[in-house]
């Protein structure tokens, strides 16, 4: 493949020379990045002296994941752009992560210290050998006095003890260094095992009548970058507004570092088809000729569920930087250094999509604890290609060139203000322009950027279903929520300065009021018990007759009053000969169709109330019914 790439590059170069083109490098800098949900638009600027005649300007070291159809070139100067081409250069490998050099230096230093320890251990062995040879002095001379022998033995014992202690210290030190070395080598292997990335290049053919300094703007779309919306929801108390912090979890694996760039976060997706679908004819036939896809209708799932797991490669090694997305939503995350992920899913999302550079994308049903193994993708990047862009205005030849004298700067004119971001509403998308520049390396590590902070008026209501759960759940009802341009995403919940869990902010709702569950409140105590004297079974006039009674006690232990909605239920008969009759509902409201009983309570601090639910069921003597 490399040989083919070399030949094509040589032919392309020879072709440009034959046409009389001079070649110059146009050095550009990334100044701004618009990050979409699963891609990014890169803005680069640069300038170069353009000589008289035809010149080939080459922009090097760009991302190999550049979308060639998205390339746009704008220029300022008295010259003509003849054509714009894109190539992949397999001879120019993109610079790998700078931490490789640091790891190598640490490794070399660590190996040097291990060698020093080995040298010291060898010296100690020689010392012990000399002591062993001289410990027989008593047998070599009869004139050796007992006192001299005792002194020699004490010296031998002292020196040998020192040698052994030093050996133990050096052995322990060497063991720790070897363990560190093992970790360094694993990290080096992980970085070096990354797939070879060619660099992307853009060739701009220009023609000038006189020497001029050309200023260029280049924009293009690249994959392997994106962001996930996240929220922090804080409620000080139920008498205060809800504080919502809108954040972006951004990642990039484009192969090129973004250094001190202005970031914009857009809720758009330029890679998604913009073609309106067409409604096809619905041909109705007999049922035996008709088939339907299986659906999940009728399956009961919890409103919010968590999925945790680890993503590994074919060798079982963890994969950091893997995108984990709930299919069909904007909810997602990126695996950490150990390949671990933790994601919260709404009730209508059951599939997770795992994607990573050089690996086959996998789609799996979400589970509470998962081990996901990704297989290597054998498809390589395409070989060197040359393509023209821009339509007829960019065809070769001065007659059809475009003479560009003025250009609009790609830098946004941010107004000076104390807020961190500026909200920009376009015709079909919304963008957050971050005023502070960021540096984001191409290593898959996620960066959390705060976009906006809102204080939202909310109506707080407690809900409880003691038949299913004895805790009360706090729910915030937000009106006019659509003015904040929210996306469906995970939300961290904080109530009364304590983290209480995570939930899903379902911003795809079409309702005027957005409902957000804020979790459990342990300061509202609820108990539901069966009243035995009302729970009986007997036969009356040839029919079965059963009664049930339940008592629910609710106590508000909080320091402020609360509004609490309590739900319970009666069974609903679907048979004509089964009759259900309520006998006591404590002023609760009964829905005859669903059997739901609702109590709307207003409880003062430390107030306690009691709710009774009693009913009777009549049915044919020969039958049985199952009640609580």
Reduced 3-state DSSP string for 527-573: EEEECHHHCEEEEECCEEEEEEEEEEEEEECCCCCEEEEEEEECCCC
Higher pLDDT: 360 or 507? It is 360
pLDDT at 581: 92
Nearest partner of 347 among 295, 309, 300, judged by Cα: 300
* Mean pLDDT confidence for 279-290: 63
pLDDT at 295: 35
Q: Would you place residue 340 in the very low, low, confident or very high pLDDT band (cuts 50, 70, 90)?
A: confident
Distance from C-alpha of 483 to C-alpha of 457, rounded to nearest angstrom:
13
Nearest partner of 524 among 551, 552, 554, judged by Cα: 554
pLDDT at 385: 33
Q: Would you place residue 47 in the very low, low, confident or very high pLDDT band (cuts 50, 70, 90)?
A: very high
In total, the chain counts a number of residues equal to 628
Residue spans per domain, the chain: 2-97+199-223+381-403, 100-192, 525-620
Distance from C-alpha of 485 to C-alpha of 305, rounded to nearest angstrom:
25
pLDDT at 381: 39
Percent of the chain whose pLDDT exceeds 90: 29
Quickly name the fold that domain 525-620 has. Immunoglobulin-like (2.60.40)
Given a contact cutoff of 8 angstroms between Cβ atoms, the answer to whether 45 and 171 are in contact is no
Instruction: List the end-to-end C-alpha distance of the chain, in Å, as a whole number.
Output: 72
Q: Would you place residue 435 in the very low, low, confident or very high pLDDT band (cuts 50, 70, 90)?
A: confident
Higher pLDDT: 132 or 144? It is 132
Average pLDDT, the chain: 77
Nearest partner of 201 among 97, 15, 68, 54, judged by Cα: 68
Distance from C-alpha of 464 to C-alpha of 552, rounded to nearest angstrom:
11
pLDDT at 115: 83
Distance of alpha carbon 410 from the chain centroid? 29
pLDDT at 52: 92
**Dihedral sign computed on CA atoms, order 318, 320, 325, 331:** positive
Q: Residue 553 above 90 pLDDT?
A: yes
Strand extents, DSSP E, 444-488: 447-456, 458-464, 472-479
Q: Residue 390 above 60 pLDDT?
A: no
Nearest partner of 492 among 239, 245, 268, judged by Cα: 245
Q: Give the 3-state secondary structure of residue 285.
A: coil
pLDDT at 199: 82
Please report which helix (H) or strand (E) contains residue 265, including its range: strand 258-266
In order of 524, 589, 603, the CA distances from 462 in angstroms are 9, 17, 11
- Counting Cβ atoms within 10 Å, is residue 159 exposed (0-12), middle (13-18) or buried (19+)? middle
**Dihedral sign computed on CA atoms, order 278, 279, 284, 288:** positive
Q: 88-102, 151-165, 309-323, 473-487: lowest mean pLDDT where? A: 88-102
* Mean pLDDT confidence for 181-196: 65
DSSP β-ladder status, 472-479 and 458-464: antiparallel
Q: Would you place residue 378 in the very low, low, confident or very high pLDDT band (cuts 50, 70, 90)?
A: low
Q: Would you place residue 416 in the very low, low, confident or very high pLDDT band (cuts 50, 70, 90)?
A: very low
What pTM does this model have? Answer: 0.61
Higher pLDDT: 107 or 451? It is 451
Distance from C-alpha of 478 to C-alpha of 496, rounded to nearest angstrom:
19
Predicted confidence (pLDDT) per residue in 22-43, tens digit: 899 999 999 999 999 889 999 9
């Amino acid at each position: 493949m490399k040989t083919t790439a070399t030949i094509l590059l040589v032919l392309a170069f020879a072709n440009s020379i034959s046409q009389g083109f001079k070649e110059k490098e146009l050095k550009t800098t990334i100044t701004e990045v618009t990050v979409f949900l699963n891609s990014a638009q890169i803005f680069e600027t640069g300038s170069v002296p353009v000589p008289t005649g035809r010149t080939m300007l080459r922009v090097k070291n760009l991302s190999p994941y550049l979308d060639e159809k998205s390339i746009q070139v704008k220029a300022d100067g008295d010259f003509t752009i003849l054509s714009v081409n894109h190539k992949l250069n397999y001879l120019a490998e993109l610079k790998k992560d700078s931490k490789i050099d640091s790891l190598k230096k640490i490794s070399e230093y660590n190996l040097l210290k291990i060698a020093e320890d080995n040298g010291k251990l060898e010296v100690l062995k020689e010392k012990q050998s000399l002591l062993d040879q001289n410990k027989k002095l008593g047998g070599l001379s009869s004139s050796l006095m007992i006192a001299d022998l005792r002194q020699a033995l004490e010296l031998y014992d002292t020196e040998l003890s020192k040698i052994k202690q030093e050996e133990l210290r050096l052995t322990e030190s060497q063991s720790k260094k070897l363990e560190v070395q093992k970790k360094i080598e694993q990290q080096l292997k992980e970085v070096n095992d990354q797939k070879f990335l060619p660099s992307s290049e853009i060739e701009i053919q220009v023609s000038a009548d006189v020497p001029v300094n050309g200023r260029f703007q280049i924009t293009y779309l690249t994959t392997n970058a994106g962001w996930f919306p996240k929220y922090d929801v804080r409620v000080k108390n139920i008498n205060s507004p809800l504080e919502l912090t809108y954040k972006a979890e951004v990642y990039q694996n484009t192969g090129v570092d973004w250094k001190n760039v202005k970031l914009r976060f857009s809720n758009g997706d330029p890679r998604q088809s913009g073609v309106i679908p067409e409604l096809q004819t619905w041909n109705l036939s007999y049922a035996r000729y008709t088939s339907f896809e299986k659906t999940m209708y009728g399956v009961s799932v919890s409103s919010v569920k968590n999925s945790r797991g680890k993503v590994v490669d074919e060798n079982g090694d963890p994969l950091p930087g893997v995108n984990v997305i709930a299919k069909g939503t904007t909810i997602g995350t990126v695996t950490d250094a150990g390949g671990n992920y933790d994601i919260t899913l709404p009730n209508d999302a059951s599939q997770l999509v795992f994607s990573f550079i050089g690996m086959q994308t996998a789609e799996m049903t979400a589970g509470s604890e998962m081990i996901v193994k990704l297989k290597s993708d054998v498809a390589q990047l395409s070989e060197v290609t040359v393509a023209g862009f821009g339509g007829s205005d960019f065809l070769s030849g001065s007659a059809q060139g475009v003479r560009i004298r003025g250009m609009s700067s790609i830098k946004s004119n941010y107004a000076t203000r104390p807020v961190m971001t500026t909200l920009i509403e376009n015709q079909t998308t919304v963008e957050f322009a971050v005023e502070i520049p960021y540096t984001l390396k191409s290593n898959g590590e996620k960066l959390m950027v705060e976009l906006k902070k809102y204080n939202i008026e909310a109506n707080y209501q407690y809900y409880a279903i003691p038949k299913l759960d004895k805790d009360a759940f706090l729910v915030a009802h937000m009106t006019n929520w659509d003015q904040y341009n929210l996306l469906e995403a995970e939300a961290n919940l904080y109530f009364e300065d304590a983290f209480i869990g995570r939930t899903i902010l379902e911003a795809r709702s079409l309702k005027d009021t957005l409902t957000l569950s804020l979790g459990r409140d342990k300061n509202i105590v609820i108990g539901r018990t069966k009243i035995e004297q009302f729970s009986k079974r007997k036969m009356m006039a040839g029919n079965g007759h059963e009664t049930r009674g339940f008592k629910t006690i609710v106590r508000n232990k909080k320091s402020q009053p609360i509004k609490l909605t309590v739900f319970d239920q009666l069974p609903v008969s679907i048979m004509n000969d089964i009759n259900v009759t309520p006998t006591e509902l404590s002023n609760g409201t009964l829905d005859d169709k669903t059997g739901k009983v609702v109590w709307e309570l207003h409880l003062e601090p430390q107030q306690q109330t009691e709710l009774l639910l009693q009913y009777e069921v009549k049915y044919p003597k020969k039958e049985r019914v199952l009640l609580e």
